[in-house]
Structure formats: C-alpha cells, structure tokens
Amino acid sequence: MKEAWFSALGEPLGEHERSEIAAYLAGLGMDAAMPVREALSWKEADELCRMQSDDWWRAEEEERARLERGARLDPADPEWLALNDELHGAAAVAAARAGCADAALIRVAAGAASHAAYQARLARAAGAASGHPFLRKYGLYCGGRWPLGIYDQSFAIF
C-alpha cells in the first residue's frame, strides 16, 4: 500500500492518532498525558522546530543507541535511498500545495521523515515489538503527519 506521506498536515487529529501519540510518549518514558499542540501551517511548523527540544531528542537517541547495539543498517542501500527521494518528493508536493516554496524547510521535513524511517527500520531489524515507539512515530508519518517534537511541555505535530 502506498503511504500518505505529508498528506494530512494541518488536518485535525483523530482519536487513534492521539492514542498513538500517547503510546509513543509512554514508550519513550515521557509523560503520555502531556498536551498535544496541532501546528496548522508550514510557517508554524518551521517556527516550532527551530526551538530546542533536547530532552525529547536525547530520549530518542538513547533508544536508537540501544537498538544499534543489536542491528546496523547500510545508509547507502539503494532501496533506502529511493525511499528518501520519495519522501523528499512528497514533502515538496505537500509544501507546494500549501504555497510554501522554502527549499530548506522542505528538506527539513524530508529529513525528519528519513530520520523516522531509519529509526523504524532499525527497530524492525533489532526485532522490536510492533508497539515500539519508533514504529508508532513512523506510523504517524505513514499516515501523512509530521511529528515535530516536544516544545514548552507540549508534543507538537503538523
């Protein structure tokens, strides 16, 4: 099935997505009940992710480091590179539809999705269970969202 990369940006969150976010946060050892901030535009997403989000990033990196002790992926794998091109194309199309022509921000979105895709592939390669937080976060990307991180004690998502 073709994924819906970046196609639900700015749309209201559904209950299933909210519960996935809560489970993702809990899986990372973070507050599952923290407020969720829904970004409504590329500009708002841009402003949010230019803020620091060190605790969130550190929590993910600790989990990535743990998984990498049991599995390694080849960053030059052609299939993986093809996926990255697909993500960049999808980000560019979504941005263009919203009137955003910021080449750097489009690459930021594509890079975020690549990072999540890498984490999910790593989790699978390491034999993680289907409820692993990286798989939940990647599922949000597959459904057309861009999870932005934790800023001012809120989890932001576009």
Q: Which is nearer to other proteins, 16 or 55 (CB)?
A: 55
Rule CB under 8 A: say whether 110 interacts with other proteins.
yes
Helix (H, G, I), strand (E, B) or coil at 50: coil
Rule CB under 8 A: say whether 57 interacts with other proteins.
yes
Rule CB under 8 A: say whether 119 interacts with other proteins.
no
Distances from the Cα of 132 to the Cα of 10, 67, 140, angstroms:
25, 11, 13
Among 28, 94, 100, 112, binds other proteins (CB under 8 A): 112
Q: Which long-range contacts (CB under 8 A, 24 or more apart) does 85-93 make?
A: 86/5, 87/5, 87/113, 87/114, 87/117, 90/5, 90/6, 90/7, 91/5, 91/6, 93/6
Among 9, 30, 95, 109, binds other proteins (CB under 8 A): 109
Among 97, 103, 127, 152, binds other proteins (CB under 8 A): 103
Residue whose C-alpha is closest to residue 84's, from 61, 107, 64, 68? 107
- The stretch near other proteins (CB under 8 A) out of 28-36, 83-91, 93-101, 133-141 is 83-91
- The stretch near other proteins (CB under 8 A) out of 2-10, 31-39, 43-51, 131-139 is 43-51
